[in-house]
Amino acid sequence: MIDQIVRPIQTGMDHFERRLESALDSEVEIVHRMARHLVSARGKRIRPALALLTAQALGGNSDRIIDAAVGIELLQTATLIHDDIVDSADTRRGAPSLNAIWGDHASVLMGDFLLAKALQLLVGLESQKVMEAATRATQRMVEGELLEVENGDIAITESVYLDLIRKKTSALIALSCEVGAILSGGSPEQITQMAAFGELLGIAFQITDDILDFTGDSIVRGKPVGNDVKEKTITLPLIRALENCSNGEGDRIRARIESGIEDGSDWQEIVAFVHRYDGIEYALQRAQGYAEDASQRLSVLSVSEARQALELATRHAVERQR
């Protein structure tokens, strides 16, 4: 399905990849090596694709949009580097994390380098609206990180969980769509609705990711399942199951998670608990609801191949297996 989503903007995405590599160039050897590692461990490129699709749906197609997409991708990569340091993560997208290879100190500085590069690109667009949107999104991400620190136990509620997603996951997805609309000369209503589309899509995408952490295949996903629970991160399927359980079993599950998952049997017990108390089905329904709401926001766009690809992206958000 990804190929179908990207097809209308494939030329633009190829241009994006070349521009990204160029933006990461540095005469400092360690920066060069770290940048090459980041490029080789590439992600799904969801944000640049959404920026380009939004722009194309509104009749825009320029180097400014490519530069904006690169800037947003650099912001995202910088936050992932800092996340891995905070979490002491050894891998990212199936490859060794930057901090696992070069250590925390150099990795923090590389994250700062990417933030500076992102700002350089976004300032170069000479758009006050873009800079205002980018600074708001960056602030939301940092707030999300701090909110996660503040609520870093297993007593997290659904409302806090959704607030975290809006700030940590959806902020840059919304920014991608918003900037695509701004730089394509979209009307205020189109800009507002496309930003809302990105936020809702991001929520649906993250809930699905959290479902797959319980139900997915580690080979298909390219990363182990159960990571969230093993790291004592509580997501919507487990939140719902714990809320539905009134016989004391939930307290035992909480205690098991707090003490640490020891082996496969511990994990299987938690998976069975989540299924038994409606966690998976409920989370899936919520993801579908957000995806449907996102799809409705596309009514501000004229019918086009790019709009069809954006509609397909809402399906992919909840139907994907990785």
- For the segment 99-131, what is each residue's pLDDT rounded down to a tens digit? 999 999 999 999 999 999 999 999 999 999 999
Identify the domain containing residue 102 by its residue range.
Answer: 2-319
Model pLDDT, residue 17: 93
**Residue ranges of the alpha helices (H) in the chain?**
2-6, 10-23, 29-40, 46-57, 63-87, 98-123, 128-150, 158-168, 170-183, 188-215, 218-221, 227-230, 236-244, 249-259, 264-276, 279-296, 305-319
Q: Which residues pair with 91 in a beta bridge?
A: 96
Model pLDDT, residue 220: 46
Model pLDDT, residue 102: 95
pTM > 0.85: yes or no:
yes
Model pLDDT, residue 257: 86
Is the separation of the CB atoms in 45 and 19 below 8 Å?
A: no
35: CATH? 1.10.600.10
Model pLDDT, residue 155: 61
HEC per residue, 112-128 = HHHHHHHHHHHHCCCCH
Is the separation of the CB atoms in 294 and 197 below 8 Å?
A: yes
Residue 263 CB contacts under 8 Å (≥ 6 apart), including other chains: none
pLDDT tens-digit profile of 173-195? 999 999 999 999 999 999 999 99
Indicate the DSSP class of residue 233: -
Which residues in the chain show pLDDT less than 50?
Answer: 219-221
Number of domains in the chain: 1
287 vs 179: CA distance, rounded Å: 24
CA distances, 215 to each of 34, 63, 179, 206, 227 (Å)? 33, 41, 34, 14, 12
Model pLDDT, residue 223: 55
Model pLDDT, residue 152: 62
CA distances, 63 to each of 10, 26, 34 (Å)? 14, 22, 26
Q: Which of 297, 290, 252, 287 is nearest to 273 (CA)?
A: 252
